[in-house]
């Protein structure tokens, strides 16, 4: 057990290390980029599968991930939730693996596994001892090509998904509002459809839907293998060719994603959800924005820095204004989601203090946004934001899982290893003028949806709509 004195000194040591790392990144960006570049290598198998290797020799373990370039935004219209549904079904059976045995086998080997679905990707991952890497690669390659789905398995899992939706969304007022706001934010694009799916469409999904979706999108030429850990590029290449390399490509697959284009947003939209389960009243705002894939050079980086200054943490302008100075809110914050294949999103929120109306919270937020759009940010604010984002990037280099996700996500939306490696340098190039321009351009009410969550019940007639009002223009 550590003595108290040692435990108290740890934050000081970490602070000093962080200061040294930030100073190094500010003074030697070229050296940092060169070091980051050496961490990952990429190549492609003959069947079209992309492979990224991130050697990390500190411990004899590896993080193994398979990413598919398919997510909820690629689903057939009317079949929402099928991407997430198939993610669950991938843990069923093949000719070699019995029903429900996949995760149990990984656990018996001393490993951990899981999966996730987003709008743009579906990914499966294992953390395992190095000497078992070949085993999990063979298992993952097997279910890439040989998944078996009986009607009973599909229907049973469909009930699981419906229960998951009830517990995570339908029983959570905040999740309901977020889902409704996303639906209102997008006019044409499928990002407005929830990843888990709409209940009435999930309940109609069947065995044929699952098999058709599997055959359409699950193939090596639509997949990315990422291995981070105690490996060399040559080791991974040999194992990948012995396992995934034997899976034939789907030559009939449309690799290029074809999704509806989002039209210009010309009017702001508003929603209000009244729900007695909500707790305190809260204000929420989403803005449609570009992502790192779709933005002009430097634009997404400027948005990252803008939201760091405006709404991230207790030193942000939003928190200091609403919580510390005005005492209108108990918490406030925001973020920039820039990882989308087709677009991104800005978000701000505040939880009102007792007795404070959401109109007052919204008015102060709008005034603050107008101030930053007109006057920009200071050099000191920008420097602190750059240091903070750069430090987060550097800390991520110490985590196998973070590295695997970082490179895998970039690849699945069409970015390169170099895009990941040079991100800190691009962040440090951003000027105060670029941040001001990004605020004025993107924090535009016409591109937004505003949501109020109010802890009270609606009249009985309105309750028939689950308490959510329809989107309104205004």
Residue 357 dihedral angles phi and psi, to the nearest 5°? -75, 145
Find where tokens 């759009």 sit: 373
CB 361, CB 306: distance < 8 Å = no
Two structure tokens written together for 159: 């009930």
Of 75, 87, 140, 153, which is the active-site residue?
Answer: 87
Side-chain-facing half-sphere of 335: CA atoms under 13 Å? 4
Residue 467 dihedral angles phi and psi, to the nearest 5°? 85, 0
CB 154, CB 210: distance < 8 Å = yes
Find where tokens 């203090």 sit: 353
Would you give the end-to-end CA distance of the chain in angstroms? 61
CA-CA distance, 154 to 159, in Å (whole number)?
9
87 catalytic per annotation = yes
Two structure tokens written together for 241: 């060719």
Residue 11 dihedral angles phi and psi, to the nearest 5°? -60, -35
Please name every residue paired with 86 in a beta bridge, in sequence order, or none if there are none: none
User: What DSSP string runs through 155-181?
Assistant: HHHHHHHHHHHIIIIIT-HHHHHHHHH
CB 149, CB 207: distance < 8 Å = yes
CB 445, CB 265: distance < 8 Å = no
Side-chain-facing half-sphere of 440: CA atoms under 13 Å? 11
Instruction: Please enumerate in sequence order all residues whose Cβ is within 8 A of that of 149, keeping only pairs 6 or more positions apart, or say none.
Output: 89, 92, 207, 210, 211, 214
Q: How far is CA 328 from the centre of its chain?
A: 30
Active site residues: 87
């Amino acid at each position: 057990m550590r003595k108290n004195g040692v435990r108290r000194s740890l934050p000081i040591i970490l602070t000093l290390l962080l200061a040294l790392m930030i100073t190094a990144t500010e003074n030697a960006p070229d050296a940092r980029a060169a070091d980051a570049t050496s961490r990952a290598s990429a190549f492609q198998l003959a069947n079209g599968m992309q492979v990224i290797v991130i050697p990390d020799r500190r411990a004899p373990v590896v993080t193994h991930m398979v990413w598919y370039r398919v997510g909820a935004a690629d689903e057939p219209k009317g079949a929402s939730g099928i991407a997430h549904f198939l993610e669950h079904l991938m843990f069923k059976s093949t000719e070699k693996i019995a029903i429900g045995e996949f995760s149990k086998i990984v656990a018996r080997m001393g490993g951990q596994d899981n999966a996730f679905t987003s709008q743009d990707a579906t990914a499966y991952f294992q953390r395992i001892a190095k000497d078992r890497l070949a085993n999990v690669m063979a298992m993952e390659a097997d279910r890439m090509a040989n998944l078996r789905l009986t009607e009973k398995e599909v229907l049973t899992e469909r009930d699981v998904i419906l229960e998951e939706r009830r517990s995570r969304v339908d029983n959570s007022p905040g999740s309901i509002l977020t889902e409704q706001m996303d639906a209102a934010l997008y006019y044409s694009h499928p990002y407005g459809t929830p990843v888990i799916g709409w209940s009435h469409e999930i309940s109609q999904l069947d065995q044929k839907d699952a098999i058709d979706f599997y055959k359409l999108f699950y193939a090596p030429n639509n997949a990315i293998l990422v291995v981070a850990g105690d490996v060399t590029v040559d080791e991974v290449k040999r194992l990948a060719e012995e396992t995934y390399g034997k899976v034939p490509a789907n030559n009939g697959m449309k690799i290029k994603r074809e999704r509806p284009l989002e039209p210009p947003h010309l009017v702001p939209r508003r929603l209000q959800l009244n729900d007695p389960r909500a707790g305190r009243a809260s204000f929420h705002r989403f803005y449609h924005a570009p992502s790192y894939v779709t933005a002009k050079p430097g634009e997404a980086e400027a948005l990252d820095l803008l939201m760091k200054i405006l709404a991230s943490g207790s030193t942000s302008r939003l928190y200091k204004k609403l919580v510390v100075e005005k005492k209108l809110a108990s918490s406030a914050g925001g973020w920039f989601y820039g990882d989308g294949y087709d677009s991104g999103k800005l978000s701000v929120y505040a939880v009102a203090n007792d007795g404070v109306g959401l109109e007052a919270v919204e008015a102060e937020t709008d005034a603050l946004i107008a101030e930053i759009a007109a006057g920009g940010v200071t050099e000191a604010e920008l420097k602190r934001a750059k240091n903070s984002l750069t430090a987060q990037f550097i800390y991520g280099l110490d985590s196998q899982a973070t590295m695997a996700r970082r490179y895998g996500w970039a690849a699945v939306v069409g970015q390169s290893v170099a895009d990941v490696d040079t991100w800190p340098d691009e962040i440090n190039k951003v000027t105060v003028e670029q941040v001001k321009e990004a605020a004025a351009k993107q924090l535009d009410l016409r591109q937004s949806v505003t949501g109020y969550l109010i802890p009270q019940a609606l009249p009985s007639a309105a309750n028939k709509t689950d308490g959510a009002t329809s989107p309104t223009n205004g």
